[in-house]
Amino acid sequence: MIRQRSSSLTKPLINLFRFITTESTQTQLATPSPVNPAHLLRVCTILYQQQNSPESRLHSNLNSSNFQLTHEFFLQVCNSFPLSWRPVYLFFLYTQTHPNFTHTTVSFNKMVDVIGKARNIQLLWDMLHEMGRRRLVNDKTFLIALKTLAKARELNKCVEFFHVMNGYGFDYSLETLNKVVESLCGSKLVVEAKFIVFKLKESIGPNGVTYRCLIEGFCDVGDLIEASKIWNLTVDEGFDPDIGAIEKMMETLFKTNRYGEALKVFQMMRVNRMDDLGLSTYRLVIEWMCKRGKIEEAHVVFEEMQKRRIEADNSTLASLVYGLLARGRVRVAYKIVEGIEKPDINVFHGMIKGLLRLRKLREATEVFREMIKKGCEPNMHTYIMLLQGHLGKRGRKGSDPLVNFDTIFVGGLVKAGKSLEATKYVERVIKRGLEVPRFDYNKFLHYYSNEEGVGMFEEVGKKLREVGLVDLADIFQRYGEKMATRDRRRNREVEP
């Protein structure tokens, strides 16, 4: 059994009590709940303030609070101390004195999660043993425990945990192992996942799913050598690499500029496993071929896909449109677009990006207007592309003050959030001959994505329109409309 008072309860708590100040907790109290908020606040205050008091005094004060001990109440206490193990553990010890209250797998998992995040490994290990003795372990327990132990580099304990749980009656399970491996790989703990798999090989034989997770995990961290080793091991053990793992390997090779090797993998699939090739694989290859300007090769792959009666989606067609426009084949690109029944944002982005690369700014803005007419709402990336196309990556620096970026505005006013002063940037001009630094359009739009920025974008749009920069004015004004509140939109629709 767990000791009633752990010897590790000597180190003073360093995490501040954030029950009242944290926004998440305030949200919990605001929502309807069977838990009395006043009682919860009182109990959490006692646990925080008297965590180093004698056990008898702490229990006496908790008893005087007259709260109703339920599982929901216990979970709310755990939520109030997401990173502080001591108050949660003290409350757990207190609940042990209530004969009518029995912990469940959910409450144990919640407490183990808090203890794990606080990195109290010894107490975590004791609690896991207690859960095993009470037969309250499930797959979520494995995920919480092993992620915590892996992050703490307690790799031997990770392996031992499987053996310990097997001793408590939770038999070795390949399904559980695969869930753990997938979770660890998703958290960039693929080295730790591989250690667990290989150490447990005699007890739990890995399968193709296990190796797929490892291959994808090593690809995510950029370790193609280890990914290749797992790939070869998969083949040696008689498993066919999963199509998801193959696509992940190809994508990583493309991203690391190993274009030829990626195509070799694709060619291997075409020769040996043609039936497994689907839309996702063709889309990946066509996208990267178009990015590298290999439009003829991309078109061959596209025709092969059509011969196999695999219907292309908008994302694949968007890549082809961009690739054609980038090579100056505007008519062919527009012909493909005209054949798309319901173009989405991917198609419009492909057109805009390709036209901007050809410096066809007016045509790109027309696509932007058409995009809005067809009910496809532009996103932040749309505006960033258009602004960079019209104004350049460093901002326009010319004789016209209305399209010249002031470095003082860029470096100071945006960060300070002074919208009123920032609107005057169109009237300023730098004549010192200094190079304007790279302008961060993403931050610029982010800083003014609020009601205060609406007026600024409208004012800038009007002034740009006065000097004949209609396309640029439309982009600014449209973004200002997007940032308007519901009331402003409603009023605008009512106005004649």
**pLDDT tens by residue, 294-323:** 888 998 999 999 899 988 888 999 999 998
Compute the average pLDDT of residues 444-465.
72
* Length reported for the chain: 496
Tokens 């009242």 correspond to 20
Compute the average pLDDT of residues 188-204.
93
- Per-chain mean pLDDT for the chain: 80
Rounded CA-CA distance 214/230 in Å is 7
Nearest residue to 389 (alpha-carbon basis) of 450, 325, 329: 325
Say if residue 401 is exposed, middle or buried (CB neighbours under 10 Å; 0-12, 13-18, 19+).
middle
Question: What pLDDT does 3 receive?
Answer: 41
Rounded CA-CA distance 348/372 in Å is 10
Q: Which of 20-24, 345-349, 461-465 has the highest mean pLDDT?
A: 345-349
In 3-state terms, the chain is what percent helix, strand and coil (to 5)?
70, 0, 30
Higher pLDDT, 413 or 252: 252
Torsions phi, psi of 102, nearest 5? -125, 130
Residue range(s) of every CATH 1.25.40.10 domain in the chain: 278-377
**Contact partners, residue 373, CB within 8 Å, separation at least 6:** none
Compute the average pLDDT of residues 267-282.
88
Rounded CA-CA distance 286/277 in Å is 13
Question: What pLDDT does 174 receive?
Answer: 93
Whole-Å CA distances, 352 to 100, 299, 386: 67, 20, 8
For 152-171, b/e burial (b = at least 16 CB within 10 A) is: eebeebbbebbebbeeeebe
Say if residue 75 is exposed, middle or buried (CB neighbours under 10 Å; 0-12, 13-18, 19+).
middle
Compute the average pLDDT of residues 139-149.
94
Compute the average pLDDT of residues 99-109.
90
Answer whether 344's CB lies under 8 Å from 356's CB: no
Helix axes 105-117, 85-95, angle to 10 degrees: 150
Cα–Cα–Cα angle for 90, 93, 96, rounded to 5 degrees: 155
Answer whether 41's CB lies under 8 Å from 85's CB: no
**Contact partners, residue 64, CB within 8 Å, separation at least 6:** none
Rounded CA-CA distance 483/450 in Å is 6
pLDDT at 466 over 80: no
pLDDT at 14 over 60: no
pLDDT band for 212, please (50, 70, 90 cuts).
very high
Instruction: Look at the domain 278-377 and name its fold.
Output: 1.25.40
Higher pLDDT, 23 or 155: 155
pLDDT band for 413, please (50, 70, 90 cuts).
low
Torsions phi, psi of 114, nearest 5? -65, -45
pLDDT at 86 over 80: yes
Say if residue 131 is exposed, middle or buried (CB neighbours under 10 Å; 0-12, 13-18, 19+).
buried
State the amino acid at position 355 in one-letter form: L
Question: What pLDDT does 13 receive?
Answer: 30
pLDDT at 196 over 90: yes
Token pair belonging to 58: 């702490």
pLDDT band for 133, please (50, 70, 90 cuts).
very high
Answer whether 265's CB lies under 8 Å from 253's CB: yes
pLDDT at 465 over 70: yes
Higher pLDDT, 453 or 479: 479
Question: What pLDDT does 418 receive?
Answer: 56
How does DSSP classify residue 35?
S
pLDDT band for 143, please (50, 70, 90 cuts).
very high
Compute the average pLDDT of residues 431-441.
52
pLDDT at 185 over 90: yes
Least confident residue range of 61-70, 269-278, 385-394, 399-408? 399-408
Answer whether 90's CB lies under 8 Å from 3's CB: no
pLDDT at 450 over 80: no
pLDDT band for 27, please (50, 70, 90 cuts).
very low
The CA R_g of the chain, rounded to the nearest whole Å, is 30
> In 3-state terms, what secondary structure has residue 152?
coil
pLDDT at 273 over 90: no
